[in-house]
Every structure is written in structure tokens, then in C-alpha cells.
Chains A and B, each alone.
Chain A
Amino acid sequence: MPQIHNSQPTIQNSIRGRVWKYGDGVNTDVIFPGKYTYTVTEPAEMARHALEDLDPAFAANVQPGDVIVAGKNWGNGSSREQAAACLVHAGVGAVIAESFGRIWYRNAINNGLLAVTCAPAVAALNAGDVVEIDVQAGVITTGAGQTFRFPPLDPAVQAILAGGGLIPYLKQQFQSAG
């Protein structure tokens, strides 16, 4: 049985972690450099290069469940899926941003990574804060107890996230179809 690339546990209803905060327009090349796209394929190695050209301290210090909080157009640029997958492999629990590059957003969902658009939460959260996301209720709670609501996920998106990402989801579908 070949190993599945996107083996991500089914998304948890509650995500809690420390905030890594970045600005506007962070693009795929600084999240996962293009020069690695055909040579770096192992999850652990991908995780080591996560955000390499943006924040060299990230890969060494990120902890499971940590949340990236960013400004506008996070993940703009290339279609490379590693720009979402490397964050999953690094243990990132979710990304909250003002807006997302459209292919990055699709890649995140398809890799089982929660991506939430919520500008007020972005404004309220700072690097190192603790943040909690209740996925089902659509609520973000800051360490200081402030809460922010985000719009419910599209049903197509929910189904993929609930299946643990697009590939595990499809696999289940093919299996149940016999």
C-alpha cells in the first residue's frame, strides 16, 4: 500500500496554540522556496524548510497546534501544494488571515489544514499570544478572552476537512463505492 502524502489526522474541533504573526502579502516562495519543489518530498524535510525565506526561526521553534496569523493575501503566488503541506508537517493547527491566495486556500483545505478569514481577530492577536479556535461554533478566542466569529465553512469544504483532506476523503468515497 503506497504511503499517502497527505496523511493528516481528521481536523479537530478545537485548536489551541501559540500565535506566529506575519504581515500582508506573504507569498508561496517564502513559505516554501521553488528550488525545493522537485527535490524535497519527505514530510520531515518539508517541515524543516517551512517559511525558510520569511522567518528562519519558525521551523526550529514551531510546536504542534501553533497558529499562524497573517494579513492580506497569505499564500499568494505559486500553486505549489508544499506551501500548505509543509505547514501541516510542521504541526501548524490553523492559519487565520485577512484574506488568502485562492490556490493556497484550496491547498490548505485539501491537506486538512483549517484556514479562516477573520480580519478583526488578526488585528487583536500578537506573536506569542495563545489562541483557541472552535471550528464547529466558528469562534476564535484570544488568550485575553476576546472572542471573534468567523463565517461557517462551505459544506464542500467541511466535507473535505472532516475527511482529513481531499485525498483521504476521496479514498473513503472510492472504498465505500466498492
Chain B
Amino acid sequence: MPHTFAEKILAQNAGLPDVTPGQIITATPDVALSHDNTAAISKIFRGIGVNRVRYPERLAITLDHASPPPTTRHAQNHADARRFVAEQGVTHFFDVGRGICHQVLTEEGLIFPGVLLLGADSHSTHYGALGAFGAGVGRSEMAAIWATGQLWLRVPESIKITITGQFSPWITSKDITLHIIGQLGADGGLYASVEFHGPAVAAMSMSSRFVLTNMMAEMGAKNAWVMQDAVTFDWLAAQTGAPERRPAWEAAARQLAPDPGARYAAEYTFDASAVEPQVACPHTVDNVQPLSAVAGTRIDQAFLGTCTNGRLEDLAAAAQILKGRQVASGVRLLVIPASSRVYMAALQAGYVETLLTAGAVFGTPGCGPCMGNHFGIPAPGEVTISTANRNFQGRMGTRDSEIYLASPAVVAASAAAGKIAGPEDI
């Protein structure tokens, strides 16, 4: 019987010949991700009455959400996480400054085709771009995984999205992703595994593909997936410095690729050629408008960063737009590279200098103000345009402020214009 990606990988992980949507299986994750929430999870873990993590080598922990810590309480939280890491012998630990969990784990070669990751973070859908199964879980569930090495999962229905056509200049995977979420709604992929197929996806860089899978969390998806090809394997070889692993990645990808004739709960086709820049308006990610409908909206702050769009190609797009220009007076442009590796590459490519010259402010690799912890909290009444994935009311720490979401190109152009604008408007 033909199967989808989710059915294949969950059957393989559970050691079953076959699974069907709706079935409950026991999954044994290869990677268990937590971040600044590690300290809180460790308290729950102790409450279970076990002392040792079952598979400490499978834990991956980053300190990225409030990093470096802005207050004593945040600092204590980090200290508690470090103590847990030392106590339990966790080897995959990435301290302040290394970067955002989702970016760091992919850079570190922990994620490749066939990996099953459960993360105490909703954007764990991210990893599907590399042919891994990534899903978010809660803190108690992470504690349970630490204690037992396992967790129950429901086999999801799958949704197939095909993206055809070609992107016009300055149109990116962020625009098509926002467009899809706007069309299908915040519950358009609820409980589902969302697969991306089609020539426009094949033409994307790895960085761009991560935007698709990362943001499927905003459509309610359990996990997401993008087909793998030379782009994937070249990227993995470059990041890991281990090209000899390529045959194994290719074999796993081939085996887990969805079968022709697999059953989908829904199938959609989108045309990349027909999309103009898209903007998600306050206060929901599916409140999406074409740029032309909101151009001219006043902004106070522009934020370039996050696990969605804080990678090298994002900083490159912003640098290209802001070269020889200045951030509009009265507007702050915050730039936070997604990882130390991205930061170094941007420095070597000259993007950091270009952006600093234009008037940008740089933060330590990490989440920054994305979820309202520090470094760029807006004042009441202020408007932010951001490359992040979420614009819920209060998300950046202030209830009475507005967040618009857009591509790095639109965010950079808006910073220069002092109002929402596209690269072609400035």
C-alpha cells in the first residue's frame, strides 16, 4: 500500500510494518530538543521520581530564548539548565551566543533524513526540510521522554501542497508561505503532516525551504516535509563536513519519500509566479494581505532575525537593499543572526558592515524580542515589521503594539522607507 512520509517514518520508528492515520504509536525520538525551558522541564522530570535521563546522548539543549539573560531570574534559569546538563552528561549542549535551537541543530549535523525529533518548541516542524520528522511537544512530555525515551504519537493525516511556477525577483519562500497560510487559515493543517512538492520548491535553497517547514506550525501542522535532492545533500555535506555520510542520507531519503498514490486528506496547488510580496497583519499569522494593500503603514521598528528568516541569505537580501541607504530617522532596525555561524559568514561577506553603516543594531545570535523576552520590546502603540513567524497580540512583550510579518527584503525596504514598503518602492 502506498504511504505518505509521516506514515513511513512513524512505522519505521515504531518498528511496525504499516501504520494508518489516527493510529496511536509509541515513538522513540532520536533527538529530544529543549532550550531555555530546560530548567523548568528538569523540575518536572525530578517529580517523576527518576534520577537519570534514559538516553542523555539524544538530548539537544540550546540557551537561546533570553540569551544573554536580561534579568537575574533569567540568569538563574540558565544556570539551572547548565547544572542539569553537567549532572546528566548531556553532550549536545549549546550555550549563550551559539544561536537559535532550530538553526543550530541543523548546522551541527544532528538532523538528516530519517531522524525523528520531538522538541519542546512549537516550531519543531522546521526539521522536515531535511527529511526528518519534527514535531512540537509540551514540557511534561519532554520530561516523560527524558525519563522513558518514548512518547505516544497519533499518526497524522497528510496534506500535499504543490508549488509550481517561478518566483519573480524579490519574491521569496516567505511570501509563498504567508500566502498559503492566508489561504488555508491558521487551522488549515491542524494535526496534519504537510508535504511540499513541486518545481518551485525544488528550485529553493535549503534556507528558503526551512521557511516553509518552520511556518507550518502556524497552520496547526504536526510536522512538515520537503522532498530531498542534491540541494539537501550538498547542504548537509557542507554543514557537517562529512561528505562520506552522503550515501546513507540518500538511501534514507529515498526510502522515506512519499509513494506515488499515497492518500492525502487534501491536496492544493499554488503558483509561485502569481504571488506578490505578502504581509501578515496584526494579530494573526493568517491575516495576510498583499504588500500593496498595506504599503505606507507607519513603522517604529524593523526586526530581521529568528529561526524563520535570520540566515545568511536573509541578511544578504537586507544588505543588498540597504547598501548605500540609511534606516529612516525615527526607526530602529534590529538584526539578530540566527547563529554564530551565520554571524561569522555575514561578517566575512561584508553584510554586517553594510547593515551597520545603514544604521542597524546587532544582537547576540538567539531569539531576541521574537517572543518578548528582551532586546527590542516595543513600546505601547508602536508598530514592528518583522521577519519572524508569529505576530500574536503581545508576542513581542507588549499587548498594545502591532506586529506585521514579511520577508527580509520587505523588512529591509520598510526600515529604509520608515513605513511598510517593498524593495521596488525605495
Chain A interface (Cβ < 8 Å from any Cβ of B): 2-6, 25, 27-30, 33-35, 37-39, 41, 53, 72-73, 76-81, 84, 99, 101-103, 106-107, 110-111, 154-156, 165-167, 170-171, 174-175
Contacts and interface: CB of A to CB of B under 8 A. Distances in A.
Interface stretch (B36-44, B274-282, B306-314): B36-44
Contacts of A81: 138-140
B198 interface: no
B61 interface: no
Interface string B19-51: 000001000000000001100100110111110
A38 B77 contact: yes
Of A41, A155, A167, A171, which is in contact with the most chain B CB atoms at under 10 Å from its CB?
A: A167
The 8 A-B residue pairs with the shortest CB-CB distance, nearest first, are A29-B392, A34-B371, A107-B138, A4-B47, A73-B187, A35-B372, A79-B122, A81-B138
A95 B222 CA distance: 21
Given A2-B47, A167-B47, A103 B140 contact: no
A110 B141 contact: yes
A25 B285 CA distance: 11
Nearest to A98: B187
B373 interface: yes
Given A73-B190, A166-B141, 10 more contacts: A27-B392, A29-B390, A34-B397, A78-B371, A79-B120, A79-B121, A107-B139, A165-B140, A170-B148, A171-B49
Nearest to A160: B152
A2 B43 contact: yes
A99 B190 contact: yes
A35 to B, nearest CB: 4
Given A38-B73, A41-B40, A167-B140, A25 B47 contact: no
Interface string B366-384: 0000011100000000000
Interface in B105-145: 119-122, 124, 136-141, 143-144
Nearest to A30: B393
Contact of A102 (B47, B186, B190): B190
B191 interface: yes
Contacts of B286: 25
A154 B373 contact: no
A40 to B, nearest CB: 10
A53 B190 contact: no
A41 B151 CA distance: 25
B394 interface: yes
8 contacts: A33-B372, A35-B397, A73-B220, A78-B390, A79-B121, A110-B138, A154-B154, A156-B24
B373 A171 contact: no
A37 B120 CA distance: 13
A79 B392 contact: no
B63 to A, nearest CB: 11
B325 interface: no
B71 interface: yes
Nearest to A100: B190
Nearest to A73: B187
Contacts of A30: 392-394
Contacts, number: 141
A174 B47 CA distance: 11
B143 to A, nearest CB: 7
B147 to A, nearest CB: 6
B50 A6 contact: no
B246 interface: no
A38 B140 contact: no
Contacts of A39: 71, 73-74
Interface string B202-235: 0000000000000000001010000000000000
A77 B47 contact: no
A35 B141 CA distance: 22
Contact of B74 (A38, A41, A73): A38
B121 A35 contact: no
B137 A79 contact: yes
Contacts of B24: 154-156
A22 to B, nearest CB: 14
B49 A6 contact: no
A81 B137 CA distance: 9
B138 A5 contact: no
B138 A84 contact: yes
Contacts of B46: 2
B284 interface: yes
Contacts of A80: 138-139
A124 to B, nearest CB: 21
A38 B41 CA distance: 11
B395 interface: yes
B49 A175 contact: yes
Nearest to B136: A79
B30 to A, nearest CB: 19
Given A73-B186, A76-B220, A35 B373 contact: yes
A170 B145 CA distance: 11
B187 A76 contact: yes
A10 to B, nearest CB: 16
B304 to A, nearest CB: 20
B19 to A, nearest CB: 15
A167 B44 contact: yes
Contact of A76 (B36, B186, B371, B394): B186
A6 B77 CA distance: 19
Nearest to B39: A38
A2 B40 CA distance: 13
Nearest to B187: A73
Interface in B163-198: 186-187, 190-191
